[in-house]
Amino acid sequence: MDEEKTARLVRELLLEIGEDPEREGLARTPLRVARALARLVRGYAQTPESVVNGAVFEATDSNHMVVVRDIDVFSLCEHHLMPFFGHCHVGYIPRGKVLGVSKIARIADCFAARLQIQERLTGQIARAVRDATGAEGVGVVMECEHLCMQMRGVEKQNAKMTTSAVLGSFHDDPATRAEFLSLLPGFGGHGR
């Protein structure tokens, strides 16, 4: 992303909405917004493979469920460029390979740091975990608040959206899916 070009566009936007981009409080805003936007959409320059970076480890005796809960997720909705944020819960059953635990959060960040919709983001995370590990099954549940729903339009401040993606045994076996959900807060597991 061209930082200077983006800053010029932000300056034009400030003029368009009737602001003075030269006033004290806004003088450096175009550059700050350009830098913030570059950070918020850094996922376009990443791939799941690059963030996993080879941190897949042999674990021949691991056919039990691995769950990482409450991964903070921040993204921008592609419809209004407004933030949505919440938590992502990821579970998988390895087939001899496990991911370094931080890599699950990095996979979530890789896809969240793009213009998104929560439904697609949930599936992208699930497929990336499956592809990285060859897991028997993968489950992802996301719970997010959407500022485009809270600040504009319907203006429902307490609404949250929950999405899930289940692959392999998490899809095919109701007991596996139920075990995963029982480990999550609000789905039968421990609360926050």
* Per annotation, catalytic residue among 3, 12, 79, 119: 79
77 catalytic, yes or no?
A: yes
110 catalytic, yes or no?
A: no
Task: State the Cα–Cα distance between residues 34 and 134, nearest whole angstrom.
Answer: 38
In Å, the largest CA–CA distance within the chain is 64
146 catalytic, yes or no?
A: yes
- Amino acid at position 152, single letter: R
Token pair belonging to 143:
């719970």
* Per annotation, catalytic residue among 46, 148, 171, 179: 148
User: Which residues, listed in sequence order, are joined to residue 99 by a DSSP beta bridge?
Assistant: 56
The runs of H, that is alpha helices, within 25-168 are: 29-40, 48-52, 101-112, 118-133, 147-150
* Per annotation, catalytic residue among 118, 124, 136, 150: 118
* Per annotation, catalytic residue among 4, 78, 119, 190: 78
Residue with tokens 């959206």: 161
148 catalytic, yes or no?
A: yes
89 catalytic, yes or no?
A: no
Task: State the Cα–Cα distance between residues 2 and 102, nearest whole angstrom.
Answer: 30
* Per annotation, catalytic residue among 80, 145, 171, 179: 80
Backbone angles phi, psi at 143, to 5 degrees: -125, 115
* Per annotation, catalytic residue among 87, 124, 143, 146: 146
Please list the active-site residues.
77-80, 118, 146, 148
